[in-house]
Amino acid sequence: MTRQDDLAKLIRSVISGIVFSSIIIFVTLFVPLMGFFMAVILPMPLLYYRLKLGRKPGVIIAMAVLSVTAGVTGGPSIDMLFYAAMLMVGFLLGECLENHFSAEKTIGITVMATTAICSAIFFLYAESAGDGMMEMVATYVKANLTLTMTLYKEMGMPQENIELITRSIETIQYVLIRLIPALVITMLTFIAWINTLSIKRILGRKGITLASLTDLNQWKAPERLVWVIILSGLTLMVPGKGIKILALNTILILMPVYFFQGIAIVSYLFEKRRFPPMLRLFIYSIIAIQQIFILLIVGIGFFDTWIDFRKIGVTAADPEP
């Protein structure tokens, strides 16, 4: 294959990455019912092509997609910042996986770096618009709460429930604004986790194995982390709004960690018991759409610190002859 052929193939791949990412963004903008689910996989095309083509083509794809998004959305906005964050997640996951970082290090670096960079961009955007950061966040939250109340009315929610929520709207707004750091980090963590698992499966079908992503169903959070949760829970009983908000943010940030550990346990048991793929998919789907099961999985991950459902510690300490 000549150098010109290699260049032509590279250009076609870059264009494919731009097209796939742009299609996902268009769906999130113009097909609201599918928007949320498509937004979750938005990092995937950039992650895939970053690993396939390298850093520079990945940057070109990201910049081109952002330019297309800016043209569609009409310029800088909070929505565009969200799309930039999703692309950043894909690119940073690719950087970490290419350097063979562990799964927790890959997701941790990606989430923290994306949060820091996007927070700085949002701060500059708010200042340039003449509004403070907190004022812009408050306006955005209030607008979304108003929209939510309108949707509740259109859905036929009982009037007494609507009046109750309306009377509490200021309290809800106060709490939501102060929980935004945890909510953003939690959202990015789940999205990074989903795309990491997806790229593992995609590459696996091509016969490519990432050593850092093997045996994920045996993953455990650091044991000392559980005491941070316990201490934060006890702090919720201490008087003072500020310290309670800090404790609640900490708990929300760490909940995905124990959810991942719980899911790892479920996956381990599925593999050990040889559950059929369709049954696994059905159970995973139930977990995804039922909040009570999500909390159950978090609980399983949390108490695995002491119970050791997979008996990993026992196996490590007493290997079979």
- Give 201's contacts (C-beta < 8 A, 6+ positions apart): none
Place of tokens 């923290």: 112
Q: In 3-state terms, what secondary structure has residue 130? A: coil
CA end-to-end distance (rounded Å), the chain: 53
Which residues fall within 8 angstroms of residue 178, CB to CB, at 6 or more apart? 245, 249
The pair phi, psi for residue 220, each rounded to 5°, is: -135, 145
d(CA 96, CA 109): 8
- Per-residue pLDDT at 166: 79
pLDDT, position 303 = 94
pLDDT at residue 319, as a whole number: 47
Q: Which residue in the block uniquely carries the two structure tokens 């979304």?
A: 144
Total Cβ atoms within 10 A of residue 72 = 15
**Angle between helix 241-273 and helix 225-235 axes, rounded to 10 deg:** 140
**Residue 314 has what pLDDT?**
57
CA distance 292 to 218: 24
DSSP label at 5?
Answer: H
Q: What is the rounded distance in angstroms from the CA atom of residue 159 to the CA atom of residue 302?
A: 39
For the stretch 183-233, pLDDT in tens is: 999 999 999 999 999 999 888 888 878 877 888 888 999 889 999 999 999
Closest CA to 189 of 289, 275, 85: 85
Those residues of the chain that have pLDDT short of 70 are: 1, 313-321
